[in-house]
Amino acid sequence: MNETRPVPRAAFWTGHVLGVLPCLMLVFSATMKFGQPAGVPEHFAELGWTPALMTALGVLEVACTVLYLVPRLAVLGAILLTGYLGGGIAAHVRIGDFATVLFPLLLGVLLWGGLFLRDPRLRALIPLRQ
């Protein structure tokens, strides 16, 4: 049986902080999709998406973020958010907007880094130190 060591207190809280920061950004992004302020529908059109998809993508973004925030479903949420952010990266690469690619990449790293620091099961699955 694979026993996992408890997560140190500092790593646990650092993991929570690192995990919440990208969630705040994702909720803000979804809010922009729901509210559709000036400039957002135009940028969506530049990416090749119709404005009608904005609400659906906002709902998907919030749903995946909520899954990530529920401790028992955090790994599933992280997997789904990785796919969602990967789609955003692909959309920006397709139009040659390489400067924007780093932001969703950083969000994904923060999501998984935060989860790694606070979840002993993930630490056991990916041991960085022996």
Q: Taking a C-beta distance cutoff of 8 angstroms, is the pair 40, 33 a contact?
A: yes
Percent over 70 (pLDDT), the chain:
95
Residue 23 burial by Cβ neighbours in a 10 Å radius (0-12, 13-18, 19+): buried
Q: Distance of CA 102 to CAs 14, 66, 90, Å?
A: 22, 23, 12
Q: Distances from the Cα of 77 to the Cαs of 5, 39, 81, 82, in angstroms?
A: 23, 29, 6, 8
Q: Where are the domains of the chain?
A: 20-123
Mean pLDDT of 105-127: 90
Share of the chain above pLDDT 90, in %: 61
Q: Which residue has the higher pLDDT, 60 or 99?
A: 60
Model confidence over 13-68: pLDDT tens digits? 899 999 999 999 999 999 999 998 988 889 888 888 888 899 999 999 999 999 99
- What's the pTM? 0.87
- What is the DSSP secondary structure assignment for residue 126, as one 8-state letter? S
